[in-house]
Structure formats: C-alpha cells, structure tokens
Amino acid sequence: MKPAVVLLCVAALCCSAASPSAPSVTAADLQHQLGSLSLDPDGSYRVRDLRLTRGDVSIFFNEGILILARPVGGRRIAAVFTTVDTEGGDGEVLLLSAQPSERASLAAATGGPNLDEHFKLAILFFADDTLDEINTQLAKAPLRPAPEAESKVAEQINSVLQHQSDTVNMAMLQALLDAHEPAEGRFFATVVGSELGIFNVICDPGAAEPVTIGRTEIDKDGQASFRIWTGYRPRRAPLYVPPPPAIQDYHLDATIGPDLKMETTAHFLYRANTRNGRTIPLSLSSRLRVESASVNGAPAEFAQPPVGALSPRFESDAAMLLVTPEALRAGDTYQVQIRYSGSVIRRVSNGSFFVGDRAIWYPRGNPMLTNFDLVFHYPAEFQLVSTGEPVEEEKAAGHVRTTHRRTEIPEQFAGFNLGEYTHLQLDAGGYHINCYADNSASTGMNGIPAQSAEILSYYARRWLPLPIHSLSVTPIPGYFGQGFPGLIYLSNVAYVKEQDRPAELRNAGSNIFFSDLLLPHEIAHQWWGNMVTAADYRSWWIMEAMANDSALQFIVEREGANMGAEILRRFRERLLQTQDGKPVESFGPLDFGQRLLDNNGEFVWHVVVYEKGAWVLQMLRERLGAAQFRAMQQYVLEHYNGHGITNDEFREAAKRFLPAGDPDPTLKKFFETWIYGTGIPKLRLAHAGKSRTKQWTVLVSGVDDEFTADLPLRCKSADGRERRQWIPIVSGENPVTHVAATETCELPATTEFLSQPEK
C-alpha cells in the first residue's frame, strides 16, 4: 500500500467531527464492537522513531511494531505498540515534571522526580488526532507493513485489548457519539514499563487537570482505586473555564420497599452544549441500574458499566451515558426522564440503616446546581428525612408513608436518610431544627438538639444567614459525618454519652472528635461546602479546613482558648506521627486532597486535609488579624455563593484583607509553602554576644533545602512594648536583623505557627 493511500484512509477514519452520531449507529452496536475489539492485520507496520506528545508527556516508539485495532463505528480508536519479533525494540515515556509537589509525588511513586520509563508494550485508545500524527510521521519514510506480526501476538493481545476496553468503555462510547473537536479528544495509554510495571497515561484536554499518570491498585481489603502518581495542567494549556450547570428543575419520585430496594423516576431539564452530539453524560451509583430513559418523550438508549467493573478514578464506576437517536441542538433545552432501581440502603446489625452513595443516588451532571423537588414513598414504620423544605405534611396511606420536600434555592446536592427514629424539634434564630435519633442514642440525644441550635446561631452571627430555613440532624452508623444542604449525617457515636461508648473510643482524642468537633464541623458545611464549594479536588481542603477551623472557633468561644490550643496541639502531634518511616504530613501537600485518600489511606488524608488545613487557616488568621479573617470569610461567602472557588481565587480573596506592610503581599509564598508544599520546621531561637552586640539567630531544621517561610517573631523592648517582626526563614541558620540591643525576642506561640519548637 502506498503512503498516500494510507494517509487518506487514516484521515477519513480519525476525524471526530465527521458525523460520529449517524442515527443508524446504536450505542448497543458500538458497545458490542468495543467489547470484541481486535487487532487488524492490514493495519500492522514496523515503525521507528515515532513520537506522540500529550501535555508535556512524550511517548517514543523507538523501534517496534504498531498495530491498529479494527474500526469501531467506522473509526480507528485503538492501537498497540509491541516489540515482539523486533531486535532492539524499545519504547519510552518521558516527563520532566515542572511543579515541586508533583516531582515529589512522582518520586514517592516511582523513585524519581521525573518519569523516564522504557517499555515493550503499550495499548492506546484515542478520540483525538493521534492517527493523523502517526500517519504524518509514517508518510516521511517508506512504509513497512508487518501483517505477520499481528498473527504472532493476536491471541494474547486481543484479550488484553478487550480488557483495557472495559476500563475506558464509557469514555470511548461517548467519544464515538458526541461532537467534540479532535483537539479536545481524550487519549489513554496503558504502558507495560520495564521497571515500573503497568501504568496509565491519560490526557483529557477538556478537564481542569488534563494530564494524569498513575495506575489502578488493589488494597489489602480487595478495593480498587486509581492511584495518581502525578496530575497537572500543562504549562501551555489555556486558562480553564468550567462549563455552566446543564441540569435544571430536578424532580425525583422514589419508592422504597420493605426490602429497601428503591424504584425511582428522575425528571429534569437538560441544556445541550456544542459537545453533546447524541450524548448526555451523567453519573449514577453502580448499585442502581437504569431501566428506561427518554428525551423529549422519545426513547433514549442508556449505557452503564457492568456492576463491579474495575474503573480507574478518571472514569468513575458511577459513569453513565444517555444516547439520543438524533444529535442534540446546542442551546436547546430537553426534558429528560430516567427510571432506575436498586438499593443504596442497608440495615446494619444494631437495627440502624446506612445510606450509601449519598451523592450519586440520582443521575448527576457535572457541575450541578439546581432546584430539587423530592417525593419519597416508604414503609410507614420508618421516617425519612431529606434535603429541602416540607411542601406538605407527611401522609400515610395503609403501610406507605409519603414525604414531599422542595429546595428554595438551587443546590449542588440532595440527600436523604432513613430510619426508625425518635424526633425532637426546636426553633432558634429563624431556623427549624429537627434532630433524629435511632435506638442507640442516649436520653435527650446527648444534648445534640440544644448544641445544634447554639452552633447554628453562632455561625449565622459570624457570617451570613443561611438561605434555608430547616436543618435536620440525623444519625449514620460509622465514625464520620457529612453535611448536605439542610441535612446532616452525624456519627451515631456522637449521640451516645462518652462513658457508654465502645471501649476503644473512650479516650481523650475520641471524646474531642465525637463530642466537641464533629457536630460544629458538619453544621459549618452548610456555609463551607454548600453555600460556597470547591472548584476542584485541589481546593476541596478549603471546605474541610474552614469547617474544622469554624468548629475550633466555636469551641474556643464556648470552652476557652486553652481547649482550642489543646486540639491544635493534638493535630500537630498527628501530623508529626510517623507512618512507613516518615511523618504523616510529608505524604503530600494540602492541595492533593482526594489523592491522599486514594494513595495513602484515610488516616493520612484526614490528618493532612482536615488537621493541617485547620492549622494553615489559624496561621492565616494570625497574619490577617481576627477581624480581617472574619471579613475575608464573609467576602468569600458573598462573592462565591453558589459557585466553586479555586485555590488561586481563595488566595486573591485573602490578600485583600492583609494589613499594610506584610512581607508577602500576594500571599504566593504562603501558599507555596503551606498549601502546595510539605514540611513542618523545628525552630530554635538563639543569641550570642553581650547586650550591645547581641545577635539573634533562628535555627531551622527538619525540612528540606527548598523550604521557605515568613516567621512572625515577637520582640519586646525594655519598657515592655511589644511588636511583631517578620523574618524570612530557610533551612539552617537565619540571622535576625533590625532588633535593638535592648530588645528580647521569642518564637510565636504554638497557636500561631505550625512549627515544632526544638529543645
């Protein structure tokens, strides 16, 4: 075959803008083809010195065989590179990481700060212009077809290709049916590295963080998660602009049977964009299976991954897709109906109920901000509580009870809880507070109703009134809490008096968490997480840190500064605690968020995001001053109400309230050190010489050579006057200048700086 002919064939097959959504092609047909994907002997070539670049990642096919997979829906979407039957065959993946935190993350995962891995096998899936790039390079040298190579590897590689297709099935199905531009198409590479083993290189240009490298791993409990080695926005990528919410006017009608199975109908309006084509991408718990769907009254196809399918985090197992017969018109609004069933509720041993998949029990878009109208039918012996204000009184007809609630403003989430509850209600400060407890609770719900009213009133005075009028506090089995709009899931341990809790929870640390921190933390999420939320996983720490900091401020108001200082001391001890031979704090910076959970487990994630986050906000309050910090909070709540906030937007908001003369007027140094970096320094203040020649020095240890921060040194004159002097510090000796001979200096108090005084 001549090069020119190859060029024409490949170009015709890889153009994603060319009628991917022909009505004759069904989603079921495409899924079948994806599931039986195989190599094409007519698309097998010996190649040398091919290169693909995706977001600063270079993939070199130095010497080997490139075999295209058979077309799916008339388009080439996959290929395999192998060095079988190739003397000196080799491929290479190269990434020179630019960000210090990502270099550290790569080093922790691979042993080096950059990625330079050779490989013998790589499997590619692509919805971008990969074939155009390959074809252009092939045309520069004589073609060397290698059909015999396909026969040598087909049996082994075809099964691998089909297995890999399972993990990217939903993404590729969407790509075959949507209307994305080639430059915005996704690219997936599964590489079998010579040293690192199997890993993935993923590029999604439409995402906030387009490049991800990592792999799926199975933990000791058999749970699979995608562990990110590095993720970033390429240096030359344009500024990310998040899409507007596409879903409006959401109605849910759910029937819960005695067996706890749910049968639900979802109705909503969907505003199409230029990329939809024939697709409406959504998320739904894999425990729930779609039974039928329609768009504007016409039947629509639907696709979900198989129950239990292992799906990396870049394509959650909650992914689902609606497929319409004809392409959607950008800007038009469509009526969508989805019927689905399954269960996210289970009964636990003590008679309580656990509601799982609390954020994806209904089909969701991303991003999401809509009014919810929620109707639940359920066994009359239960009580059900949900997001929203009551539309009408609960009704019981025979063995079925009905609850109807509606949100008064657009919300990001809607949740519900179910149980056999006792119920206490009180009104405080314009809010209706409803507290529910199961049969494990102490008398009076351990004071939770009165505490809830006190906390809610305290926060409303500090910031802004909530745009909702009802707050329900409900129990959930487990050692955690969660705050949804108007609905709080609170660990059932918090409902039990300290002396009656399980023996392993009767200690000072557990008592502080369940009795002091948890309830004010979750109520704070009505502002931090619901009124304003994070724009991405990188900024989610702000919500958890704000909730923890708010709980600390409430505790100080109620119990005094010593209690707040004690909690911060415990936080720092846990940050310095060693795991796998290194401090917990060193596993990753605050902005890694969910990555810490997937890569290092719940303890590391919680300590860094929640507890270091609270420390960092305490340091920011010291820098701004208490009044200005509170003014900054009010500014964020007002200006980002109903929106996500990024780390950089948070920094811009905070710097508005810095006092004049601050040594870091943009707060970039502060963020680089405490949000994007790791390290807790050990500090020692020393002086030498007599009074007229005294030289103060701050000795810094326990951090690497890249560490830098501003230290608020406290100096006092002979007549008792105090002042704060900021000095820049790095690892090693740091001389203190501009200190009078008659002044004495001291390090900041432990409640003002995340440091460990060196003895």
User: What pTM was computed for the model?
Assistant: 0.92
| SS3 assignment, position 431 | strand
| SS3 assignment, position 162 | helix
Whether the pLDDT of residue 339 is over 70: the answer is yes
Note the pLDDT of residue 718: 84
For 459-475, give the secondary structure using H, E and C: HHHHCCCCCCCEEEEEE
474 by Cβ neighbours in 10 Å (0-12 / 13-18 / 19+) ranks as buried
Answer yes or no: are the C-beta atoms of 234 and 300 closer than 8 Å: no
Answer yes or no: are the C-beta atoms of 446 and 497 closer than 8 Å: yes
Interatomic CA distance for residues 199 and 215, integer angstroms: 5
- How far is the CA of 305 from the CAs of 29, 175, 283, 291, in angstroms? 15, 16, 11, 14
pLDDT, tens digit, 9 for 90 and up, residues 267-305 = 999 999 999 999 999 999 989 999 999 999 999 999 998
Q: Which of 208, 245, 217, 212 is nearest to 229 (CA)?
A: 212
CB atoms within 10 A of CB 118: 17
- How far is the CA of 696 from the CAs of 211, 699, 727, in angstroms? 47, 10, 11
Question: How do 262-271 and 333-342 pair as beta strands?
Answer: antiparallel
Q: How long, in residues, is the chain?
A: 759
pLDDT band at 330 (very low <50, low <70, confident <90, very high): very high
Helical H segments across 591-739, by residue range = 594-600, 602-606, 613-624, 626-639, 647-655, 668-674
| SS3 assignment, position 106 | helix
The number of CA neighbours under 13 Å toward the Cβ of 683 is 29
Q: Higher pLDDT residue, 745 or 29?
A: 29
Got the DSSP string for 60-87?
EEEEEEEEEEPPBTTB--EEEEE-TT-T
Interatomic CA distance for residues 746 and 510, integer angstroms: 34
Whether the pLDDT of residue 690 is over 90: the answer is no
Indicate the range of 126-135, 421-430, 691-700 predicted with least confidence. 691-700
pLDDT, tens digit, 9 for 90 and up, residues 139-164 = 887 778 888 888 888 888 888 888 87
Q: Which of 218, 436, 225 is nearest to 313 (CA)?
A: 225
Name the region of 357 (left: φ>0; alpha: ψ -120 to 50; beta: rest).
left
Listed ranges 8-17, 332-341, 463-472, 597-606; the one with the highest mean pLDDT: 332-341
Note the pLDDT of residue 310: 40
Q: Higher pLDDT residue, 106 or 221?
A: 106
- Return the structure tokens found at 280: 């409406």
DSSP letter assigned to residue 411: B
Indicate the range of 131-145, 327-341, 409-423 predicted with least confidence. 131-145
pLDDT band at 435 (very low <50, low <70, confident <90, very high): very high
Please compute Rg for the chain using Cα positions: 29
Interatomic CA distance for residues 433 and 450, integer angstroms: 9
Q: Which residue type is seen at 325?
A: P
Note the pLDDT of residue 612: 97
Segment 310-334 shows an average pLDDT of: 78
Name the region of 408 (left: φ>0; alpha: ψ -120 to 50; beta: rest).
alpha
- Return the structure tokens found at 428: 């405080």
Interatomic CA distance for residues 347 and 353, integer angstroms: 4
Torsion of CA 372, 375, 378, 383, to 10 degrees: 60
Residues 6 or more apart in contact with residue 636 via CB below 8 angstroms: 532, 645, 650, 653
| SS3 assignment, position 484 | strand
Q: Which of 214, 178, 209, 221 is nearest to 196 (CA)?
A: 214
504 by Cβ neighbours in 10 Å (0-12 / 13-18 / 19+) ranks as exposed
**How many degrees, rounded to 5, is the angle at CA 395 between CA 390 and CA 401?**
105
Average pLDDT score over the chain: 90
Helical H segments across 426-539, by residue range = 448-462, 508-511, 518-524
Residues 6 or more apart in contact with residue 323 via CB below 8 angstroms: 26, 27, 177, 278, 279, 280, 300, 301, 302, 303
pLDDT band at 349 (very low <50, low <70, confident <90, very high): confident
Interatomic CA distance for residues 417 and 387, integer angstroms: 9
Answer yes or no: are the C-beta atoms of 693 and 116 closer than 8 Å: no
284-317 in b/e burial notation, b at 16+ Cβ within 10 A?
A: bbbbbebeebbbeeeebbbbbbeeeeebbbbbeb
Whether the pLDDT of residue 308 is over 60: the answer is no
